[in-house]
């Protein structure tokens, strides 16, 4: 758990996985996003496709503390396991140091656990030394399915369990707590994405509940609200 009493603004920024994901993203948007990531020293900078990864790698040269990330089978997750693995391999080859793969939610809901196990095994193998994060998209899952999906992530040796893509409804606290409690005592870390408005307050609540990363395009807003959040007692 993060100690909210001693959390600094710099440490808060270091928990943000900042993203530029719009479908109409252009080169200037990526370059501007990388400049922001450098300025704030966010944990990671994500684009919607490994197409942008060489440009991001160029812009973040020398910033080894900032992960370069992208989404795999984003945002639907129903791509066959072998295709997901190829996408992971290509992403890493192009310079990604972290990859967020969307779990096959249909297979999970149908209790076709072997399908999910296969894709997670291939994901970990294809990622190599890159940081692995698996997205559950909890807004479409029952409590029992969230538990099952979390256990599959743990069994596969994936490093992070992530709530959502942020493209649909974000998680509520009850859903996040099911993930947290299921993974308690494991090595899996928690990433909350799709945080709802007002984002600064809600992001801090997820951190207080156990998230160590927040995936968001609103990273600047969250970090710049630090002093206000401290003044009202959410920090310190």
Question: Which residue numbers are catalytic?
Answer: 100, 162, 191
Alpha helix segments (H runs only) across 60-137:
81-94, 105-109, 113-127
Instruction: Determine whether 72 is exposed, middle or buried from the number of CB atoms within 10 Å of its CB (0-12, 13-18, 19+).
Output: buried
Phi and psi at residue 169, in whole multiples of 5°?
-70, 135
At 71, give phi and psi (nearest 5°).
Answer: -95, 145
Distances from the Cα of 205 to the Cα of 71, 133, 155, angstroms: 25, 21, 28
Structure tokens, 48: 């919607």
Q: Please count the residues of the chain.
A: 236
Measured CA to CA, the distance from residue 94 to residue 92 in angstroms comes to 5
């Amino acid at each position: 758990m993060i100690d909210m009493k001693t959390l600094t603004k710099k440490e808060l920024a270091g928990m943000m996985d900042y993203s530029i994901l719009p479908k109409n993203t252009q080169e200037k948007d990526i370059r501007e996003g990388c400049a922001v990531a450098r300025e704030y020293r966010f944990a990671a900078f994500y684009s919607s496709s490994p197409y942008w990864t060489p440009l991001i790698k160029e812009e973040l040269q020398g910033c080894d503390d900032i992960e370069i990330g992208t989404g795999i089978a984003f945002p639907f997750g129903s791509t066959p396991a072998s295709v997901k693995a190829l996408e992971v391999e290509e992403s890493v080859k192009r310079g990604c140091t972290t990859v967020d793969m969307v779990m096959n939610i249909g297979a999970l809901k149908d209790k076709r656990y072997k399908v999910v196990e296969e894709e997670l095994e291939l994901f970990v193998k294809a990622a190599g030394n890159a940081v692995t994060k698996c997205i559950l998209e909890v807004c479409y899952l029952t409590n029992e399915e969230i538990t099952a999906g979390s256990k599959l992530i743990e069994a596969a040796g994936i490093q992070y369990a992530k709530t959502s893509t942020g493209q649909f409804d974000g998680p509520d606290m009850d859903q996040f707590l099911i993930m947290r409690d299921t993974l308690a005592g494991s090595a899996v870390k928690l990433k909350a994405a799709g945080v709802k408005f007002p984002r600064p307050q809600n992001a801090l609540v997820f951190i207080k509940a156990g998230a160590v990363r927040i995936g968001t395009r609103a990273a600047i807003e969250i970090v710049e609200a630090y002093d206000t959040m401290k003044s009202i007692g959410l920090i310190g």
